[in-house]
Amino acid sequence: MIQDSSYLLPGNHNGVLLIHGLTGTPNEMRILAKGLNAVGFTVYSMQLAGHCGNEEDLCQTTWQDWYQTVQDSADFLAQKVDNLFVAGLSMGSLLALKLAADRPTQIKGVGVLAATFKYDGWSIPYWVKKLYFLLVLFKKLGLFQKKSFIEKPPYGLKDERIRATVSESMLSGDSASAGLAGNPLPALAEMQLLAKQVKKQLPQVICPCLIMHSGHDDIADIKTNARLVEKNVSGPTTFITLDDSYHLITIDRQRKEVINECISFFEQIASSSSSSSTTKIP
C-alpha cells in the first residue's frame, strides 16, 4: 500500500502548493515548505498519484492521474487561503505550469524550479538522450515496459553530504523518503506526453513566473528547459541562474537562496494583490 506523505503547514491567507518531481516525494520540498511557512505562508506539499510506492505502483498511473492529484490538492488548499501560488521541482514544475495555464484567474504566481521537459543534462548517457523520443512508441508497442533507467551519481546533488544521505535512503528501497532509484520507462513515456502537452499550453500561462535553474544541471540542461519556459509563457518572468547546485535545487547547496527568492517573489505578488483588492474606486 502506498503511504500518503503529503503534509500541510498552516499559516496565513497566502497559500503555496508544492509539487515534487517524477519518482520523487514531498520530502524533496520539505526544506522549502518550512522556509515559506516560517514567514507566514500556508503550505501544502502534495504527493503525486502512484508515487512513494514501488515501480509497479508508478507504472499503473498516467500523467493525467498525476495532474488530477495536483488539481485535487489545489482545490484542497484553495479552501484555506485567499491567494493561491504553486511551485514545482523538475517534472513538478511542468504540472505547476499546466495548473497555471488551466486556472489563469486562480493561480497568482508560479515557481518553476529546475524545469524538466527532457533529460538532457551532462550526466545523462548519450544513448538515453538519443532514444528518449522513442519511449512513447515503446509504450504503445509494449516494448521494454519492465525496464528502468537507473540513476547514477551525482543524483542531482552537488553537495556530497546530502548526496550520501539521499542515495543511501533511495538505494535501500525507502521510496517514501527519497523516491525510487530507477525511472521506469513507462513513467518516462508518460512524462514525455505531459511535456508535449505543457509546451503547447505555455502561452496560456499569464501569471508571473519565477524560473530558477542551475547552470550546471546534471539532469536537465538550462537552455532547453528553463529558457523554453522563459521564451514561451505570456506572463512576466524572473530568471535566476544558480551556480553552485545541480538538479535538486530545493535541497542542494543553494537551497537557502531558493527559499529566499521564492519568499520574495510570492510576497511581492501577494502584497500587490492585497493592495489592489483594498483600493477603493472613487
2 occurs within a structural domain: no
Over residues 110-127, the mean pLDDT reads: 93
Of 90 and 128, which is predicted with more confidence?
A: 90
Q: What is the pLDDT of residue 178?
A: 58
Nearest-angstrom CA–CA distance, 213 and 231: 14
Whether 277 shows a pLDDT value over 50: the answer reads no
Mean pLDDT of 98-104: 98
Tally of domains in the chain: 1
Write the DSSP string, 83-126: EEEEEEETHHHHHHHHHHHH-TTTEEEEEEES--SS--STTS-H
- Alpha carbon distances (Å) from 264 to 35, 52, 88, 156, 268: 12, 31, 17, 25, 6
Q: Is the pLDDT of residue 75 over 50?
A: yes
Q: Is residue 134 part of a domain?
A: yes
Average pLDDT, the chain: 91
| Range scoring the smallest mean pLDDT among 91-95, 132-136, 264-268 | 132-136
Q: Which helix (H) or strand (E) covers residue 32, if one does?
A: helix 30-38
> Residue 128: which pLDDT band, with cuts at 50, 70 and 90?
confident
Q: Could you tell me the pLDDT band of residue 276, with boundaries at 50, 70 and 90? A: low
Average pLDDT over residues 67-71: 98
* pLDDT on residue 179: 62
Which H helix or E strand runs over 196?
Answer: helix 185-201
Q: Amino acid identity, residue 269?
A: I
pLDDT at 63: 97
- Structural domain harbouring 176: 7-278
pLDDT digits (tens, 9 = 90+) for 143-180: 777 777 777 789 899 999 998 888 877 666 665 665 67
Residue 78 lies in a domain: yes
pLDDT in tens, 10-42: 999 999 999 999 999 999 999 999 999 999 999
CB within 8 Å of 131: residues ≥ 6 apart: none
Asked if residue 160 belongs to a domain, the reply is: yes
What is the structure's pLDDT at 52? 83
Residue 1 belongs to some domain of the structure: no
Instruction: Say if 18 falls within a structural domain.
Output: yes
- Per-residue model confidence (pLDDT) at position 280: 32
Helices and strands, number each (H, E), in the chain: 11, 9
- Statement: residue 267 has pLDDT above 50: yes
How high is the pLDDT of residue 105? 97
pLDDT attached to residue 126: 82
CA distance 26 to 20: 6
pLDDT tens digits along 173-201: 665 665 676 788 899 999 999 999 999 99
Please state the rounded mean pLDDT for residues 274-279: 49
Would residue 15 count as lying in a domain?
yes
The SS3 of residue 178 is: helix
Mean pLDDT value across residues 110-132: 90
Distance separating alpha carbons of residues 239 and 42, to the nearest angstrom: 25
What CATH number does the domain containing 132 carry? 3.40.50.1820
Quote the pTM value.
0.92
The H or E element containing residue 77 is helix 63-78
Residue 70 is assigned to a structural domain of this protein = yes
Q: Which one has a higher pLDDT value, 155 or 114?
A: 114
Sheet strands (E) in the chain: 7-9, 14-19, 42-46, 83-89, 107-113, 148-150, 182-184, 209-214, 237-242
Q: 220, 149, 151: which is closest to 186 by C-alpha?
A: 149
